[in-house]
Each structure stands twice: as structure tokens, then as C-alpha cells.
Amino acid sequence: MIFIAAKFPVLPQHADAWPEISRAFTEATRAEPGCLWFQWSRSLDDPTEYVLVEAFRDGDAGNAHVGSDHFKEAQRTLPAYLAATPKIVNATIPQDDWSVLGEMAVADRD
């Protein structure tokens, strides 16, 4: 899978509205057949920073995402709400879902 983590520095005046500002892009991306997940989180250290964790089935799915109309629309519209260019980590890894974090295993709670 293609695994991506990106940090989005949102302008302070738009930080609270970012989930709504990015909603159409988020929903369209989640509907892509090759999207495994597309999840936003807000930084606990910086309330103007959002972290996007996304994964696509393979390179073809990643290319389809970047070539989609909603991605192109996001390229045109979302930068107006950003304080700087987002930073990204992008890797191809040999799995198709989250792995269990064994070092933090939780005993059965039944």
C-alpha cells in the first residue's frame, strides 16, 4: 500500500473551520475505490496544524487519486486556507491494513 502522513499548517482564522473546509475533498477521497483510509487529526501541540493520515491500495490507486477532479479542485482551493506548504512522508509498504502494536497489547477485558 501507499502510506502517507501530511502536516497541514492552517491559517489561525480558519483552523476551527478546517474540517468543514476540507469536507468535500475528504468525502470524495474516501469514496475512491483504492482508498484504504483518509483520516484527519488536529495537533495537540499546535491547534493550527492538522495531520492527515491516508493510505491507498497501490500505486495505481495513488495515481488515480492525484489525477482525480476532487484532488485538482483541492489543489486550487485549499492553499488559500494554509499558512505554509504542507509537509509529507510517503512510503510504499507491504501490507494492506494497520498492524497490531504488540508492545502496547491490551489484555482481554471481558
CATH number of the domain to which 6 belongs = 3.30.70.100
Is the predicted pLDDT of residue 110 greater than 90, yes or no? no
pLDDT per residue as tens digits for the range 55-88: 999 999 999 999 999 999 999 999 999 999 999 9
Query: What number of other Cβ atoms are within 10 A of residue 96's Cβ?
Result: 10
Is the predicted pLDDT of residue 3 greater than 90, yes or no? yes
d(CA 50, CA 30): 17
Is the predicted pLDDT of residue 109 greater than 90, yes or no? no
**Global pTM value:** 0.91
What pLDDT shows up at residue 42?
Answer: 98
Residue 17 maps to a domain: yes
Provide the residue range defining the domain that includes 16: 2-95
The tally of domains found in the chain comes to 1
Residues 6+ apart with CB under 8 A from 42: 18, 49, 50, 51
What pLDDT shows up at residue 69?
Answer: 97
Residue 104 maps to a domain: no
Residue 72 maps to a domain: yes
pLDDT per residue as tens digits for the range 6-59: 999 999 999 999 999 999 999 999 999 999 999 999 999 999 999 999 999 999
Residue 102 maps to a domain: no
Residue 109 maps to a domain: no
Residue 105 maps to a domain: no
